[in-house]
Amino acid sequence: MIKTGSSSKIAGNVKKLRQKKGVSQDRLSRLADLSINTIINVELGISPNPTIDTLLKIAKALGVSVDDLIK
């Protein structure tokens, strides 16, 4: 698991980048091969420490680096 000190930072970054790309949560879940609940939980900060695998899938689906999600 990645510990960044702030799950809300990851949550905010994922949501911001997803919206910037004009992608719905449902579309992102399909692009990243993750459940819609996983995407929602990450964006809401309910998943405080998403796994590196989850972050890699989201980053790839959004065309960004994992660093962009956690910084």
Task: Provide CB contacts within 8 A for 51, sequence distance 6+.
Answer: 1, 2
Per-domain residue ranges of the chain = 7-61
What proportion of the chain, given as a percentage, has pLDDT over 70? 90
What pTM, to 2 d.p., does this model score?
A: 0.87
Confidence of residue 6 (pLDDT cuts 50, 70, 90): low
For helices 52-62 and 25-32, give the axis angle rounded to 10 degrees. Answer: 110
Residue type, 1: M
Confidence of residue 49 (pLDDT cuts 50, 70, 90): confident
7-61 CATH, one of 3.40.630.30, 1.10.150.20, 1.10.260.40, 3.30.565.10: 1.10.260.40
